Amino acid sequence: MSRKIREGLLMLISIVLLATGGTILYRQLLPSSAVKADGAKSGGQLSVRHAPEPKADVQGRFPAQSVERYAFSQEGKDLFSLLVARYQDSIGLPQSAVLFPKDAQEIASSPTGLRHDIWQSAADIIARKAPENALFLSWWDDGQRIHYLSGKEAWLRKPSDKTFVGPVWKALQDSLPVASDEERARLAQMARWLTMDSEKALSEIAAHFGASRPVYLLVNNDLLLHLAEFTAYGGTSLSLDSKNIPAGNDLHGDIALVKRWAFEAGDGNYLAQKEGNYYRVWSTPDAKAKNTLLVRLLPFIDSLKKLPKGVSLVYQSHWGGFLSVYKIDNQPIH
C-alpha cells in the first residue's frame, strides 16, 4: 500500500472518530465531588439514585440473580446510567458486572446505549471464536463485562480501595466484590504494563503467561478515563494532554482545528471523540507516553500506522475502532 493511500485511510479513520463519537462516560471531566445518594441534589454535585431492574433485560452467559440500575445526574440533569448485575460463576462464587444499559441512548448527553451495542457484538465474537481456554487481559471493569457477557476468563475482574476515590465508583462500591491480595497485585501489574513501553510490556506479558494458553488484550478508548487510577495502583503517570474543542457545522473545519491543536500541544498525534457539542481530544506531547502500551493499542493517529511487536489485531469494533482485541504473540482468533 502506498504512503499516500495509507495516509488517506488514516484521515478517513480520524473523520469517523470525530463524526461518530459521544459523551465520554464516568464523567471524570466533572468537578470532583461526593456523590449524594438517593437522588439528592446539591450544587454541582454528582447525584445517584438506584433501583432494581428487570433481570430479563440483561442478557449474559450466566443467569443474573439481581440487576440494579444506578442513574447519575447533576443539578437535576440526567447524565447516564449504569447497571450492576449480580450472578454466580461456574463454580458458584458470587460475582458482579458493571454493564451499559441498552435504553441509555434515550439520554442525549450519554450514549451508553452505543457502548452496550459495541460490547454485545464484541462479546458474541469472543464467545464464538476465542478458544475455550482463552485468557483476556484488560482493566477490571472491562474484565467483568468480558466474563459476564462472553463467559471467557478475564485476569482482572475486581477493584480495590484505590478505585473508590472517584464519585461514580464510590457510588457502586457496595455492589462490587473487592479484590483479594492476589487480585490487588494483578491490578498493580496491569497498571504497570499499560503505562510502560509497549514492547517491553508485551515481552513481560508473554514471559509471565507463557505458551500454556492463548492470551488476549482487550482495550477501548474509555481506558483514558482511568489514567489517575492506573497511577494510584503504581503505574507510570502518563503525560497526555486533553482539550475540549467546540464542534461546528463543518466536519473538515473541525478536523483542521483538532489537528492544529494536536500539533500545538505536541507532535500531531491525537485521538478524538465527539462529546455532544464539542470534541474531547487527547494528544501525546511526551515521547515516553506515546510509546506506552495503552497509547500504542488505542486508535491514536500515529498508533494506527504500525502495531508494536508481539501482538496482532484480531477484532475491532465500529465507532472508529473504539474497542479492540489483540492476540499476544500474533496468534489470531480463527
Q: Could you list the pLDDT tens digit for every one of the 334 residues in the chain? A: 544 444 444 544 444 445 444 444 544 433 333 334 443 334 468 899 999 999 988 999 999 999 999 999 988 888 889 999 999 999 999 999 999 998 755 554 556 888 899 999 999 999 999 999 999 999 999 999 999 999 999 999 999 999 999 889 999 999 999 999 999 999 999 999 999 999 999 999 999 999 999 999 999 999 999 999 999 999 999 999 999 999 998 988 998 999 999 999 888 999 987 767 888 899 999 889 999 999 999 999 999 999 999 999 999 998 778 999 999 985 444 4
Reading phi first (left if > 0) and then psi (alpha if -120 to 50, else beta), residue 325 is in beta
Choose among 38, 17, 39: nearest CA to 272. 17
Pairing assessment for the beta strands 77-88 and 64-74 based on DSSP bridges: antiparallel
Instruction: Assess if residue 157 is contained within a domain.
Output: yes
Please name the residue that has the C-alpha cell 464523567. Answer: 27
Instruction: Assess if residue 76 is contained within a domain.
Output: no
Please name the residue that has the C-alpha cell 482482572. Answer: 156
Instruction: Assess if residue 75 is contained within a domain.
Output: no
Give the whole-angstrom CA distance, residue 251 versus residue 8. Answer: 16
Q: Where are the beta strands (DSSP E) in 91-235?
A: 94-99, 135-137, 153-154, 215-220
Instruction: Assess if residue 167 is contained within a domain.
Output: yes
Give the whole-angstrom CA distance, residue 193 versus residue 204. Answer: 8
Give the pLDDT of residue 107: 57
Instruction: Assess if residue 51 is contained within a domain.
Output: no
What does pTM read for this prediction?
Answer: 0.87
Residues spanned by the domain of 305: 3-31+102-328
Instruction: Assess if residue 78 is contained within a domain.
Output: no
Give the pLDDT of residue 334: 45
Give the pLDDT of residue 278: 81
Count of structural domains, the chain: 1
Give the pLDDT of residue 12: 47
Choose among 264, 300, 323, 271: nearest CA to 124. 323
For residue 65, give Cα distances in angstroms to 56, 74, 100.
Answer: 10, 30, 17
Give the pLDDT of residue 23: 44
Instruction: Assess if residue 46 is contained within a domain.
Output: no
Maximum distance among all Cα pairs of the chain, rounded to whole angstroms: 58
209's grid cell: 503467561
194's grid cell: 499499560
Q: Give the distance, in angstroms, between the CA of residue 100 and the centroid of all CA atoms in the same chain.
A: 12
Instruction: Assess if residue 256 is contained within a domain.
Output: yes
Residue 9: other Cβ atoms inside 10 A: 12
